Chain A
């Protein structure tokens, strides 16, 4: 087991290097960092431009430039953003904290309700409850997140205010303007709508996953054996059914990371929630290379970590899988 983990970790490093190199090249071609620097700072001197090129590793040779950038990145010598010359780390740190809060809330809510719905649906396959949940989940995955965001915003913020005087949920930000300090209730209220938008997708996906995986398990031979031994139905379901049905879901969960982040980006944009998504869209729109690269590194690293967790937990949960 430990050997397997170490081997996977040893692979993660070169993968990280290759992927960040690809991202580096793609961003240099796609956003043209030098041009966008000049565009944001029209009266900049040639020396400043040279300095910008040096610190960002924007060498004409991509390989050389990449390693320059990597060197500066690893030694903590991060360039400042091209707009307003802000430090990157504080902005990134705040965005990350906000997104983590939103993402974790949405995942917990989404997975919880998704699993419950999936369980309810698979208890009596083909029944009316199954059909209702299945159709609901199908509609849920068919609706792009920005559609649900727009409609929720229209209903709970704008029209609620017209009908009842005050809006039920605020539509933008983390706190009202001018608010300082920590206020859990207020924060939850601001997080409600963006969380729901992302959670809808997760609920829909997971109820479908669990249903199909649980149906597979419930039809298997060992379930019949368990039943014939006289174990209570409840114990069979939880102990034999759920435990085995969750195994394939764990792997899917980690791979789903990308789509959850995608949902977060859209949700954050619509509700002006200052997280990683808004950070990305803004810096991408500006062509802000110094802001974009660290963001990309974090995303790539998270994808690799989640894949690693998926593989390891898969092996750990299912004793039938041998790694050596």
Chain B
């Protein structure tokens, strides 16, 4: 039922197709990209070429093909988005379920902390937490260098779980008054069992929605960081979409429009598609809950 409702959402289906194509393009990057990520298109002069036959989307300041770089950039960004969303959704749903189920002090403190974080301007918290995370020496082995992709993934995991926790908590709060939870408690099920077998599976809809929004959050967040020069170091394996969007800033005043338009467009397409899917998922799972009540 939920699936049929999702399919009836036309924009979401188109988004799925677009994202699927992008994923294929990215997985087969060595074949679909025409040049290496740091490879020049032709012998100099090759910088700032307009879109043409041997460089479909033009070249950048040192003559690298923008089309190939976009593919590699999307690859890094998708990895950042998916991994940090998975980590933050796992942490977030556990914390949210426990907070919502137990209530009391733990719940109060948790919600205060997340309120505080969410009330602050996102970029400010992001930059400060990034620096704090980078300055604590004993977590260095886990996080790696401050401008590595791993660091960025962990940074957005730390950020993402709070939004998820709030959503799952709200869901659990409404679920825990329902009869089947009461029944489970009456037959002596432990808290852990109830959370694991009843609360979390019944929150799968909101969790999926939260997952999609965390993916967008991490991808655009990474771009924001890179835009302000705090992103991953552009290198062989780490040229992200954010790096390309960041480079767009310098290309605007000089009027190299392709360097600005294509990376921005790519980011918008990804963000929009994932958002559409999340929205459709929410519609599809929400109404089901309403009928259940």
Contacts and interface: CB of A to CB of B under 8 A. Distances in A.
Nearest to B274: A142
A91 interface: no
A199 interface: no
A159 B245 contact: no
B271 interface: yes
A307 B123 contact: no
Nearest to B279: A138
A154 B252 contact: yes
A280 interface: yes
B199 to A, nearest CB: 27
Given A29-B136, A150-B252, A154-B257, A266 B123 contact: yes
A186 interface: no
Contacts of A281: 228
Given A30-B132, A142-B271, A147-B267, A265 B257 contact: no
B260 to A, nearest CB: 5
A249 interface: no
A303 B119 contact: yes
Nearest to A300: B120
A142 B268 contact: yes
Contacts, number: 105
Contacts of A30: 128-132, 134-135
Chain A: interface residue count, which band? Answer: 35 or more
Contacts of B272: 138-139, 142-143
B119 A307 contact: yes
Contacts of B11: 135
A284 B248 contact: no
B116 A31 contact: no
B221 to A, nearest CB: 9
A151 B255 contact: no
Interface stretch (A122-130, A231-239, A252-260): A252-260
B264 interface: yes
B255 A158 contact: yes
B261 interface: yes
A299 interface: yes
B122 A154 contact: no
A299 to B, nearest CB: 7
A269 interface: yes
Interface string B242-282: 00010011001101010011001001100110011001000
A143 B268 contact: yes
A176 interface: no
Contacts of B136: 29
Contacts of A284: 127-128
Given A31-B131, A270-B249, A255 B124 contact: no
A159 B267 CA distance: 22
B148 interface: no
Contacts of A307: 119
A146 interface: yes
B224 interface: yes
A284 B230 CA distance: 12
A209 to B, nearest CB: 15
Contact of A299 (B124, B129, B279): B124
Nearest to A19: B116
B220 interface: yes
A151 B261 CA distance: 7
B123 A265 contact: yes
A259 B122 contact: yes
Interface in A37-86: none
Given A158-B252, A261-B121, A146 B131 contact: no
Interface string B60-80: 000000000000000000000
B119 A255 contact: yes
B24 interface: no
B135 A29 contact: yes
A158 B255 CA distance: 6
B122 A147 contact: no
Interface of B: 11, 116, 118-124, 127-132, 134-136, 216, 220, 223-224, 227-228, 245, 248-249, 252-253, 255, 257, 260-261, 264, 267-268, 271-272, 275-276, 279
Interchain residue pairs A-B with the least CB separation, the first 10: A30-B131, A262-B121, A261-B121, A30-B132, A142-B272, A142-B271, A147-B264, A262-B122, A144-B220, A142-B275
Given A26-B132, A143-B271, A147-B245, 14 more contacts: A26-B128, A27-B128, A29-B131, A142-B216, A144-B271, A146-B249, A150-B260, A154-B257, A255-B118, A258-B120, A261-B121, A262-B122, A262-B124, A299-B121
